[in-house]
Amino acid sequence: MAADLYGVLDLRPDAASDDIKRAYRRKAREHHPDAGGDAERFKEVTHAYEVLSDPERRARYDRFGDDGTTQSRSGSADPFGFSGGIGDVLDAFFGSGFGSSGFGGAPQRESKGRDVLVGVEMTFEEVLTGVTRRVSVEVASACDTCAGQGSADGSAPVRCSGCGGSGRVQRMVRTPLGRMATAAGCDACGATGRSVSDACRDCRGEGRRVQRRELDIDIPAGLEDGDRIPQRGQGESGRQGARAGDLYIQVQVAPHPFLAREGRSLHTRVKLPLTTALLGGTVRVPALGGGEHEVEVPAGIQPGEILLVTRAGLPVRGGGRRGDLHLHIDVEVPRRLGRDERALVGQWAEQRGEAPGEGRVVEVVRP
Ligand SMILES: [Zn+2]
Ligand SMILES: [Zn+2]
């Protein structure tokens, strides 16, 4: 992201909020990808506007510079703030009818709805079993009143007579070099090439309105952090009945308090009392999803050894054989001994022929 947000919008640092709005309108129109602009430039412009139009973020930027983050307007719909984004900003700015009414026909906008990304947080337990999740998204959805067609009587839109369906018209403009023809977006149809004779009032002829939608999503077992589940056609609805975008559910697996994951393997650390390490015994380890594993510890186990609990890990995507749980053995050496204990251990050392304070170097350790 550009460091100088004022520069991106051609503004001075003392610009008033109206100036910022005006500058953004102008720049967004210039760089909108649907109007043939550069997507990266458009992102920069939008980001600059997001920061500078918010008094709190602007003050922070003035003091500390750009943190590069983009914040989403929709709250509960997405815990990670990556749904909406630019679309939300445009909707907030121009109203959900952006395109048909916002720019007077200048931007070319695709009729197809945009894709939407929504994050879902999962626990290890849910990764083990899979889960059905209710997901709430706030996106432009087909208008009920006109069945998504945009016309008051629900009839399908027809080819725009103003531009013959191309969405563009030739316009003669006066320039210092004389009159020249330029192509411009058709005002009559908002540059989409399609029009309705009598626009639906509830959606202003768009055929879609921003609405909160709830979907139950089946999340299979074994997903990894960052995996996406596509829901075809469940993203933003298309304009006037055009094709809808897709909805992507992106999984974020929450860290577990004592288990680490590596593919379908799980790892944890088990601390044994010194006497258990010497004599062997049984340890109980909480099992993922409830219950316990009883694990036999052989006498004389060494710190750093690994005990495997087979098929106590996670399945791969879509289920199947579970991986193993790896128990990394640690041995707890008592930090303090009572007087009797010291005497006892002293005797034992004598029995083993070990002089107190003995040690030997077995390998070179490079820090
Ligand atoms: Zn409608
Ligand atoms: Zn037209």
- Which CATH number characterizes residue 291's domain? 2.60.260.20
Mean pLDDT on 127-139: 94
Q: Residue 284: what pLDDT? A: 96
In a domain, 315, yes or no: yes
Residue among 293, 301, 364 at smallest CA distance from 332 = 301
Q: Is the per-residue pLDDT at 81 higher than 90?
A: no
**pLDDT digit string (tens) for 40-58?**
888 888 888 888 888 888 8
Q: Do the Cβ atoms of 266 and 135 come closer than 8 Å?
A: no
Task: Tell me the ligand closest to 194's alpha carbon.
Answer: 2
**pLDDT digit string (tens) for 242-281?**
899 999 999 999 999 999 999 999 999 999 999 999 999 9
Task: Tell me the ligand closest to 160's alpha carbon.
Answer: 2
Mean pLDDT on 340-361: 89
Q: Is the per-residue pLDDT at 341 higher than 70?
A: yes
Q: How many domains does the chain have?
A: 1
Q: Is the per-residue pLDDT at 91 higher than 50?
A: no
In a domain, 286, yes or no: yes
Residue 148: band (very low, low, confident or very high) from pLDDT cuts 50, 70, 90: very high
In a domain, 136, yes or no: no
In a domain, 178, yes or no: no
Q: Is the per-residue pLDDT at 2 higher than 80?
A: no
Question: How far is residue 203's CA from residue 146's CA, in Å, rounded to a whole number?
Answer: 8
Q: What is the mean pLDDT of the chain?
A: 83
**Residues sharing a CB contact under 8 Å with residue 127, sequence separation 6 or more, in sequence order:** 221, 222, 223, 253, 314
Residue among 18, 46, 17 at smallest CA distance from 32 = 46
In a domain, 334, yes or no: yes
Q: Do the Cβ atoms of 263 and 323 come closer than 8 Å?
A: yes
**pLDDT digit string (tens) for 150-167?**
999 888 888 888 888 888
Question: How far is residue 232's CA from residue 321's CA, in Å, rounded to a whole number?
Answer: 29
For residues 173 and 125, the model is more confident at 125
Cβ count within 10 A of residue 58:
19
In a domain, 160, yes or no: no
Question: How far is residue 250's CA from residue 228's CA, in Å, rounded to a whole number?
Answer: 4
Question: How far is residue 309's CA from residue 272's CA, in Å, rounded to a whole number?
Answer: 16
Q: Is the per-residue pLDDT at 68 higher than 70?
A: no
Q: Residue 98: what pLDDT? A: 34
Percentage of the chain exceeding pLDDT 70: 87
> How remote is the CA of residue 108 from the centroid of ligand 2, in Å?
11
Question: How far is residue 237's CA from residue 248's CA, in Å, rounded to a whole number?
Answer: 14
Residue carrying the six token digits 């979907």 = 215
Burial of 262 (C-beta count, 10 Å sphere; 0-12/13-18/19+): exposed
For 29, the 3-state DSSP assignment is helix
Task: Tell me the ligand closest to 208's alpha carbon.
Answer: 1
Task: Tell me the ligand closest to 144's alpha carbon.
Answer: 1
In a domain, 344, yes or no: yes
For residues 259 and 364, the model is more confident at 259
Q: Residue 79: what pLDDT? A: 35
Task: Tell me the ligand closest to 199's alpha carbon.
Answer: 1
> How remote is the CA of residue 95 from the centroid of ligand 1, in Å?
15
Q: Residue 93: what pLDDT? A: 34
For 298, the 3-state DSSP assignment is coil
Q: Residue 55: what pLDDT? A: 82
Question: How far is residue 119's CA from residue 285's CA, in Å, rounded to a whole number?
Answer: 32
Angle (CA) 158 159 163, round 5°: 145
Ligand 1 is an ion; its neighbours by CB within 5 Å are 143, 145-146, 200, 202-203
Which residue range is the domain that position 301 belongs to?
A: 260-351
> How remote is the CA of residue 29 from the centroid of ligand 2, in Å?
19
In a domain, 301, yes or no: yes
Q: Is the per-residue pLDDT at 345 higher than 80?
A: yes
Percentage of the chain exceeding pLDDT 90: 49
> How remote is the CA of residue 119 from the centroid of ligand 2, in Å?
38
